[in-house]
């Protein structure tokens, strides 16, 4: 993660090194990310790896395989 920004609905989006973005929501009990709620928490995660669902999907499609449903994948 190289940065963060708010989307049009006020949800935090991690800016990934590949240029894509990925929502990083704190929605207990399913997703527990209290760090996303504060500037210090988000800053503490800069430099950490977050797999990019979009890049993964492009790799799968390039190999001629089926697309995976984004809703079935959960990344931290």
Report if residue 72 sits inside a domain.
Answer: no
Rounded to an integer, the average pLDDT of 11-27 is 94
What is this structure's pTM? 0.72
Read out DSSP for 2-71? -EEEE-TTS-EEEEPTTS-EEE---BTTTB--GGGGSHHHHHHHTT-----HHHHHHHHHHTTPPPPPGG
Rounded to an integer, the average pLDDT of 49-69 is 73
pLDDT at 62 over 90: no
pLDDT band at 24 (very low <50, low <70, confident <90, very high): very high
pLDDT band at 72 (very low <50, low <70, confident <90, very high): very low
Report if residue 35 sits inside a domain.
Answer: yes
Rounded to an integer, the average pLDDT of 6-16 is 95
pLDDT at 28: 84
Report if residue 71 sits inside a domain.
Answer: no
Report if residue 47 sits inside a domain.
Answer: yes
Structural domain range at position 8: 3-66
């Amino acid at each position: 993660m190289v940065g963060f920004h708010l989307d049009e609905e006020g949800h935090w989006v991690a800016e990934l090194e590949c240029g894509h973005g990925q929502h990083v929501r704190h929605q207990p009990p399913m997703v527990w990310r209290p760090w996303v709620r504060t500037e210090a928490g988000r800053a503490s995660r800069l430099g950490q790896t977050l797999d990019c669902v979009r890049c993964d999907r492009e790799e799968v499609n390039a190999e001629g395989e089926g697309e995976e449903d984004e809703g079935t994948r959960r990344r931290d």
